[in-house]
Amino acid sequence: MKIAVITIAGVSSRFNEGVPEEEKRHKIIYYEGNREDTLLYHLLEKCGSFDHIVLVGGNRYDEVQDYCDKLPGDMKTRIELVYNEHYADLASGYSLYVGLKAIFETYENDSIEEILFVEGDLDIDRDSFDTVVSCKSDVLTYNYEPIYSNKAVVLYRDGTGSYRYAFNSSHGLLRIDEPFSMILNSGQMWKFTDIEKLKVANDIFYSDNKSGTNLCIIQEYIDQQRDDDPRIIGLKRWTNCNTREDYRRILTYWNYDRSADISES
């Protein structure tokens, strides 16, 4: 069984900044014109080969639920919407924890082939997404954006050859206090194939650091997998949707992709 986890619990503060209250929306289901032109719909479409998709919501949960209820049947039947009651007072790690917990409570570990995790406010080109999906090993991703300390999550390889992450949740300066051989801008999309070790990482997160980011779970998993190098995959087109201007830029990509598909056919 292949399962995807998409976290969509954030409060969309920058997305709704300066917008009248009646026009505020959850960015994951925001659209202009075509109801299918949402970040969520495009992510779900790219996850078409997955047997089960866990969406972890929080902010504007009822709106997300209503949107999901109106999705096409073949898409809707594979979705499990899970509520993160701590979406406003804990960091991103708790959303991933809640999503993984829902999976582990439903399925036996040996019945799960792989778990894909992607943050819900991303747009990733289909070819890159498909490359990650088709890979049979663990995957760490990176994008080709410049690394700015106020917004990037850094993926680097330390002096021992281990992969590590660095991120400043206060959006200040980044600091790496050790030698490194490689540094990249994380693509915020991962694949995990050792389900037992992922469950251990999830349990450790809850017991030791449930106020941390999703990188705490991911780093714990990577540290358990030291003898098995993951595949590192670059995402050719990657956009983190923080504002409505970002959404409109993404919309131009989707329109271009549609035009290209029509031309090819």
Q: Cite the beta strand spans of the chain per DSSP E.
A: 2-7, 52-57, 79-83, 114-119, 122-124, 139-143, 154-158, 163-166, 180-192, 231-235, 238-240
What 8-state DSSP symbol labels residue 22? G
Q: Average pLDDT, stretch 233-245?
A: 97
Q: Average pLDDT, stretch 232-243?
A: 97
Q: Average pLDDT, stretch 150-178?
A: 93
Are the C-beta atoms of residues 66 and 90 closer than 8 Å to each other?
no
Q: pLDDT band for position 265 (50/70/90)?
A: low
Is the predicted pLDDT of residue 151 greater than 70, yes or no? yes
- Structural domains of the chain sorted by starting position, each given as residue range(s) with its CATH number in brackets: 2-136+188-227+239-264 (3.90.550.10)
Give the residue from 53, 86, 70 showing the smallest Cα distance to 212. 86
Q: pLDDT band for position 261 (50/70/90)?
A: confident
Are the C-beta atoms of residues 171 and 150 closer than 8 Å to each other?
yes
Is the predicted pLDDT of residue 259 greater than 90, yes or no? no
**Bridge partner list, 143:** 185, 235
Is the predicted pLDDT of residue 25 greater than 70, yes or no? yes
pTM exceeding 0.85: yes
Q: Average pLDDT, stretch 221-225?
A: 94
Q: What confidence tens digit (pLDDT) does each residue in 96-145 have?
A: 999 999 999 999 999 999 999 999 999 999 999 999 999 999 999 999 99
